[in-house]
Structure 1
Amino acid sequence: MLDIQKLLAEELSLRPAQVSSALDLFAEGATVPFIARYRKERTGELNEIQLRDLSDRYTYLTEVEERKKSILDSIESQGKLTQDLKTKIETCLQKNELEDLYLPYRPKRRTRATIAKEKGLEPFAAWIKLLNQSNRSASLEAEATTYVSEQKGVKTLEEALQGASDILAEEVSEKANLRAYVREFLLETGAFNSRIKADHPEGTTKFEMYRTFQAKVSAIAPHNLLALCRGEAEGILDVALVFDEEAIQHYLETQEIFSKAQPVREFYRKMLKDMFNRLMRNSLVGEVRAEKKLEADIESIKTFETNLRELLLSAPAGMKPTLALDPGFRTGCKAAVLDQTGKFLQYQAIFPHTGVEKRKQAAATLKQLIQNYKIELIAIGNGTASRETDEFVGEVLATLEQKPIKVMVNESGASIYSASEVAIAEFPDLDITVRGAISIGRRLQDPLAELVKLDPKSIGVGQYQHDVDQKLLKKKLGETVESCVNFVGVDLNTASKELLTSVSGISATIANNIVAYRNENGAFSDRKMLLKVPKLGPKAFEQAAGFLRIRDGKNPLDNTAVHPESYPLVSAIAKDLSVPLSQTPQIADQLGKNLRKYITDTIGEPTLRDIIRELEKPGRDPRAEFKYATFKEGIKELSDLRVGMELEGVVTNVANFGAFVDIGVHQDGLVHVSQLSDRFVSDPNQIVKVGQVVKVRVMEINESLKRIGLSMRTGEKPERSASAPKTDHKRAEKPTTLNDLKAKFGKRL
């Protein structure tokens, strides 16, 4: 069998010792964030991306090895395992190639070939096969007469010939080398072709660009393929994988026909055509579509991961007294007051959009809330009535000397949260709309702490998120949340159980126990108290402690990412330098000059560098500085826009084809990838990130379809990159011809 560790080292360009150490740590139950942060010496400083790639590939190869064992046992039990076949199976690295090798030996349902064998036609098929290989000439019909038997169910010559053909067709269709070649052929030269069904007139669907669409299988953009799949699933598109069938038939004939006798050659040509259409076409087309769909899923999920990471790591406005407003017209605006820890204090409904008198009352109430609670932040949800509410709040703030910062907050998923079990458990006595307002306010204070309570799919930063592999999506988004939470760190004394659950080594049960212990015994004063929490043993403590922060605790190091296992070393360093442990920046400054002096067998230079960074700025937040967009006054609805307007907005989503930007009109505009910059852009993430404040220009307005085209280009003539693609997916591409294939594949044809 394969040496998986050696193979992983080669594939991922790692040293064998790095692979071995990382796999050992995984086997011990260590998490990716913990290994990346606190076991750099053991892994040679592998980062999270490398560790996750290693883990994923190890899992895949382990599954392949397990499948090999069961396949070898099955074939051996049939007495058909040759040394050559065994070698092929043992050296196989891909699941689909492994299944191709197993296909001839897999237990079968009743097929046309098995029925023909039951009728005694297997010797006839073997005779024709030998005739083809020996290049002898003989009458197929004459031989077929010896197999015609009413008793066995073979009534005519044609039935005998067809039965033999069925047996040979099944045998040929199961040849791994032929299946591999045809699969590669479809991937290399095939094209996806779509048409809108006749019962959908032009201009009536969202799939108009796919009305007459064709793109090569090898070059189709992931979002195009996912759109085709969605259109097909919704019954609007007919999607086909087209290819040069003549070339495939020619290839099969060169591989399977050896006789020069015309009757034998004609029999085989007919058999191969039937074999491909009946036994190979659908399965291989299905495999190719599945393979390309998986690739598109992976690319889409990567985009989702990137957007989610940017959103979760959005700069927090800070834990300050906050007034959160969930806007509404007739039903009023729900105002929720939160203190500097995010604790809900008061709720009030105001009605600024239902008449002059109620607007005056709303202004008085809002002013009183701001002054009574010394509000520093005002969060306004960006849904219905948001711009009108923003304008109203601005009028109130104009009358105040001390003005809070007013910010429009993306409320995607807030309604889902407010109806969730999490929200009900936290605020069982509050109305669903009030819970939504609280969530909006907390998103402004600390986006990460609030957004972890939501299913990432409901946050609204995905691309075809409901069309991709849901199991893979859940896994990857879960890894992203885990990575972000551990990167930032968690305040042990204020974190919700949902936030704690994403901390390395902490399960949902342990998170519940931490909150219960905190409620019963008060705030944690040092990290060691965690060991008193039920079910949180030494292993969980090792994995989690470094990511949990305690502000104003007994030990200053508890408010840093320095792991408790390094406390003795830091204390010894502080003593050597005659610096109090509370003066961590001084320790860092002096330690930097004598770093190598403190290297031990377990703590090397990488960990010491990390310790210095933490001591320089204890309790620091690694997220960026808080910024917010200012929407243009008077621009509240789509109808207020004019082509050429220059506006400020916030990027809400980034896709392969461009970025969506909220400009304050309740409908995000699209900056197509070609409009993101004056230069050629292959990846929108190189230019913009979710949450980024950008300046855009209105290029197009379509009120009937509620579409807004925006541009971030300055107007300068762009220079096309030498690597810029010049493909036009709307233009139908002619499938590769037989002559093209001969030139490309040469001897194989």
Structure 2
Amino acid sequence: MYGLCSEAGLDGLAKKYGLTPEQFGENLRDNYQRYDPEQLPVEPKTAAADYISSKFDSEEVVLRASRYMVALQLAHDPMVRQCVRQTYYERAKISVKPTKKGFKEIDENHPCYTMKYLLNKQVKDLYLDQFLKLTQAEEEGLLKMKMSLDMDIRHNDTFGSHSYLEEIRQLYYRDEFSHHVQLWNNERGKALEAAFEKILYPGFAKELRAKLIEEAKVSITRNCSRQLFNWLKVAPYQADQQMDYDDDDDDDYESGRSGLRVFAVAHPSDLDSATFGVIVDGKGEPQLVGERQRLKLADIESLKVFLTEKRPHVVAVAAESRQTLDVIEDIKRCISELETEQQMAPINVELVDSNVANIYANSKTAESEFLEFPTCLRKAISIGRRLQDPLQEFARLCNVDEDILCIRFHPLQDLISQEMLNEHLYQEFIYRANEVGVDINQALAHNHVSSLIQFICGLGARKGEALLRTLKQQNMHLENRNQLVMGCQLGPTVFINCAGFIKIDTTSVGDSSDSYIEVLDSTRIHPETYEWARKMAVDALEYDESAEDANPAEALEEILDNPDKLKDLDLDAFAEELKRQGYGNKSITLYDIRAELNSRYKDFRISFRAPSPEETFSLLTKETPETFYRGKMMVVRVLTIARRKPRTDQLEQANPIRDDDTGYWQCPFCLRSDFPELSEV
């Protein structure tokens, strides 16, 4: 259409409106009439008569076409669009009302219940995921939502806005009162209204809707990441006491001598079925003995024997339902009796969320790892491992099947793409895994630890899997970080990126190897700065570096045993010297090195905390503050009515009544009237 108008020469008439789009844009930007329209001395129809053609055969048609051209030019000017877009985003309002379907279906349980009637609500006042909830309800045909600028109601179903247009109209008018000027101002006003109402407002409404939806989705993904962080920030469980083995213990328990031994219990929803208990040793491996791998908690004596033989540090019970509290009470009663009868050390009983265990137990990963185990037993193993290290157990769900997405992080997480959610969740895993560090040798020895390899910075899933495969093929353990390059053929860039996050237990490696062990491989210190760490150790101990018998390695070992001497180092002076040598500002790096030498791979996660009564209620009932709150209407079944016992003074003043017809006495409190004798009342 614009091309046809231009071919007919109507762009000449469009220029006679007196103000170019660029000039109007500057007026709009400054909110001041910097440029006045140039005024023709003839009426619009007279000017339009010169442009009549076969395609535009009348003055009205020519004027209508010229207004269309001017409106299109105004709507596509960058300055005009910028000013109007900014104002639209700041002043846009929405009004919402339910449809007939929504009037019936949106009850107090619906997420849009508090928003089903909105009138001229500022869009900028919407927060978090509110707009996404409204959009979802609109797509389901439950709500009608209108968005505009300075909205007001003309009549029942029509929403419009003219306030902003009236404000800026004078910036496009010529301020005169002659008849010709008023006619041209009228044409300018129609063109301006068409540009705003037909082109700019609908386009910006679409932009703003997309922007609000995207912001809501980002808010949901952030909430999902925050929820995952709250689960991953919990450190491995620390028992109140350590139960040592006697010298005559069986060899079967040798693997449980180190680490936390957990007796994990999982029961099905049907308590008539078997409840499974399993000992998870300090390495996360299940230790099953005979028929006790299937243990019904109703058999209290069998449970006592099991606890006496296995002597776990802690008992973990999967949170399934209200009956879980009965299971916990049975276990606590057994432990209490054992403490009295056999003077056994106290054992804590902890309630553990079963959300990860339920998903893992039914996953292909668990099926391949424990093919012959029933689902409930797999769940118990997952519960025990989660108490030992939540990060490792959550990482087990980050597999090719993307089982991690089965966890409910947010009620509206299904409205965002799986790729977007996965990206944010994996980012959180990367932060936490590299903060804690990953032991490659543990991943080689125990399959459930290997899931963390994919989150090491610089490796990823493909390179991490290749690294493990190379070590297994060569039947070797990682004794030092240099082997990543020499033995595993990692490139220099990959090595520089990942070396600081791969930790090696130099103590255990040193006991099984005769080769040189670099003690700094057990720290977060990067190999590029090993020399600085050695220099700090030598300076702290005031060793003579020029002496022939000077050994920085011995200085390091001594400083690790007694790190208090590092406090006297002037790290700022050391940083200045490094800066003078061309290394840049390394002050923060030096302070990090000192902190790491004070405590190698210190775990900054928070300690495990037993769930509060409110959290226990949520774990057992699966209710949340959004689904269960004060004032919520509930359907219940009354089992019995407990009457309050009367006080002493009420008993003294009580006056039972005798029914002369039946001869029975009636209690004045419960109104029971079948007592044959007064003494029975």
TM norm. shorter chain > 0.5 = yes
Could you say which residue in structure 2 is the equivalent of 1:627?
609
User: Which residue of 333, 340, 347 corresponds with 2:282?
Assistant: 340
Shift of the 162–488 alpha-carbon distance from structure 1 to 2, 3 Å rule, reads same
Name the aligned partner's letter for residue 350 of structure 2. V
User: Which residue of 380, 384, 403 corresponds with 1:437?
Assistant: 380
Q: Take 2:286 and 2:483, find their aligned partners in 1: how far apart are those partners?
A: 28
> How far 1:289 sits from its partner (Å)?
2.9
Shift of the 458–192 alpha-carbon distance from structure 1 to 2, 3 Å rule, reads farther
Q: Take 2:436 and 2:44, find their aligned partners in 1: how far apart are those partners?
A: 77
Deviation readout 1:621-672 (Å, 9 max, x if unpaired):
2222332136xxxxxxxxxxxxxxxx4536xxxxxxxxxx736433234699
Shift of the 572–185 alpha-carbon distance from structure 1 to 2, 3 Å rule, reads closer
SS of aligned partner of 1:499: helix
User: Which residue of 103, 107, 117 corresponds with 1:212?
Assistant: 117
Deviation readout 1:128-161 (Å, 9 max, x if unpaired):
55799321242433444454444xx335444333
Q: Take 1:293 and 1:530, find their aligned partners in 2: how far apart are those partners?
A: 45
For the 8 Å contact 1:382–1:408, the answer to whether it is kept is yes
Q: Take 1:301 and 1:574, find their aligned partners in 2: how far apart are those partners?
A: 45
For the 8 Å contact 1:336–1:346, the answer to whether it is kept is yes
For the 8 Å contact 1:560–1:619, the answer to whether it is kept is yes
Could you say which residue in structure 2 is the equivalent of 1:320?
260
| Aligned counterparts, 1:186-225, within 5 A | 186-201=88-103, 204=107, 205-214=110-119, 215-225=121-131
Tell me how many residue pairs correspond in the alignment.
535
Could you say which residue in structure 2 is the equivalent of 1:481?
429
User: Which residue of 583, 594, 612 corresponds with 2:569?
Assistant: 594
Could you say which residue in structure 2 is the equivalent of 1:270?
190
Could you say which residue in structure 1 is the equivalent of 2:163?
247
Q: Take 1:607 and 1:189, find their aligned partners in 2: how far apart are those partners?
A: 48
Deviation readout 1:206-227 (Å, 9 max, x if unpaired):
4210121353223322233333
Are 2:116 and 1:116 equivalent residues in the alignment?
A: no
Name the aligned partner's letter for residue 491 of structure 1. D
| Aligned counterparts, 1:630-669, within 5 A | 647=613, 649=615, 662=618, 664-669=620-625
Q: Extract unaligned runs of 5+ from structure 1.
A: 1-111, 353-357, 631-646, 651-660, 673-697, 706-749
Shift of the 573–145 alpha-carbon distance from structure 1 to 2, 3 Å rule, reads closer
User: Which residue of 28, 45, 67 corresponds with 1:165?
Assistant: 67
Are 2:408 and 1:460 equivalent residues in the alignment?
A: yes
Could you say which residue in structure 2 is the equivalent of 1:82?
none
SS of aligned partner of 1:255: coil
Are 2:559 and 1:559 equivalent residues in the alignment?
A: no
Shift of the 237–388 alpha-carbon distance from structure 1 to 2, 3 Å rule, reads farther
Name the aligned partner's letter for residue 114 of structure 1. G
Shift of the 436–195 alpha-carbon distance from structure 1 to 2, 3 Å rule, reads farther
Q: Take 2:635 and 2:229, find their aligned partners in 1: how far apart are those partners?
A: 34
SS of aligned partner of 2:316: strand
Shift of the 533–252 alpha-carbon distance from structure 1 to 2, 3 Å rule, reads farther
Q: Take 2:607 and 2:615, find their aligned partners in 1: how far apart are those partners?
A: 17
Q: Take 1:535 and 1:344, find their aligned partners in 2: how far apart are those partners?
A: 35
For the 8 Å contact 2:262–2:384, the answer to whether it is kept is yes
Name the aligned partner's letter for residue 225 of structure 2. E
Shift of the 315–539 alpha-carbon distance from structure 1 to 2, 3 Å rule, reads same
Could you say which residue in structure 2 is the equivalent of 1:360?
298
How many percent of aligned residue pairs carry the same amino acid? 22
User: Which residue of 434, 447, 465 corresponds with 2:390?
Assistant: 447
> How far 1:265 sits from its partner (Å)?
1.7
Could you say which residue in structure 2 is the equivalent of 1:140?
44
Could you say which residue in structure 2 is the equivalent of 1:307?
227
> How far 1:499 sits from its partner (Å)?
0.8
For the 8 Å contact 1:222–1:299, the answer to whether it is kept is yes
Are 2:479 and 1:525 equivalent residues in the alignment?
A: yes
Name the aligned partner's letter for residue 271 of structure 1. A
CA RMSD of aligned residues (A): 3.6
For the 8 Å contact 1:501–1:507, the answer to whether it is kept is yes
Name the aligned partner's letter for residue 493 of structure 2. K
Name the aligned partner's letter for residue 615 of structure 1. L
> How far 1:592 sits from its partner (Å)?
1.9
Name the aligned partner's letter for residue 129 of structure 2. H
Q: Take 2:376 and 2:173, find their aligned partners in 1: how far apart are those partners?
A: 74
Could you say which residue in structure 1 is the equivalent of 2:673?
none
Could you say which residue in structure 2 is the equivalent of 1:329?
269
Name the aligned partner's letter for residue 539 of structure 1. T
Q: Take 2:476 and 2:140, find their aligned partners in 1: how far apart are those partners?
A: 55
Are 2:127 and 1:174 equivalent residues in the alignment?
A: no
SS of aligned partner of 1:307: helix
Q: Take 2:389 and 2:594, find their aligned partners in 1: how far apart are those partners?
A: 26
Deviation readout 1:549-594 (Å, 9 max, x if unpaired):
2222334333222223333444455456266543444452122213
For the 8 Å contact 1:188–1:218, the answer to whether it is kept is yes
SS of aligned partner of 2:568: coil
Shift of the 264–571 alpha-carbon distance from structure 1 to 2, 3 Å rule, reads closer
Q: Which structure has the greater CA radius of gyration?
A: 2
Q: What is the TM-score when the length of structure 2 is the normalising length? A: 0.69
Name the aligned partner's letter for residue 280 of structure 2. L
Q: Take 1:264 and 1:561, find their aligned partners in 2: how far apart are those partners?
A: 76
For the 8 Å contact 2:17–2:188, the answer to whether it is kept is no
Shift of the 506–299 alpha-carbon distance from structure 1 to 2, 3 Å rule, reads same
SS of aligned partner of 1:221: coil
Are 2:652 and 1:703 equivalent residues in the alignment?
A: no
> How far 1:368 sits from its partner (Å)?
5.0
Name the aligned partner's letter for residue 544 of structure 1. C
> How far 1:607 sits from its partner (Å)?
2.7
Shift of the 180–567 alpha-carbon distance from structure 1 to 2, 3 Å rule, reads closer
Could you say which residue in structure 2 is the equivalent of 1:17?
none
SS of aligned partner of 1:279: helix
Name the aligned partner's letter for residue 316 of structure 1. P
Q: Take 2:61 and 2:590, find their aligned partners in 1: how far apart are those partners?
A: 81
Q: Take 1:393 and 1:115, find their aligned partners in 2: how far apart are those partners?
A: 87
For the 8 Å contact 2:10–2:51, the answer to whether it is kept is yes
Could you say which residue in structure 2 is the equivalent of 1:61?
none
Are 2:87 and 1:185 equivalent residues in the alignment?
A: yes
Are 2:566 and 1:582 equivalent residues in the alignment?
A: no
Q: Take 1:598 and 1:124, find their aligned partners in 2: how far apart are those partners?
A: 76
Q: What is the TM-score when the length of structure 1 is the normalising length? A: 0.63
Q: Take 1:380 and 1:217, find their aligned partners in 2: how far apart are those partners?
A: 47
For the 8 Å contact 1:381–1:410, the answer to whether it is kept is yes
Shift of the 534–237 alpha-carbon distance from structure 1 to 2, 3 Å rule, reads farther
Shift of the 209–664 alpha-carbon distance from structure 1 to 2, 3 Å rule, reads same
Which of the pair has the greater relative contact order for Cα pairs under 8 Å at 6+ separation? Answer: 1
User: Which residue of 509, 514, 518 corresponds with 2:462?
Assistant: 509
Deviation readout 1:467-502 (Å, 9 max, x if unpaired):
457665544433322121111222222243321111
For the 8 Å contact 1:510–1:534, the answer to whether it is kept is no
> How far 1:172 sits from its partner (Å)?
1.0
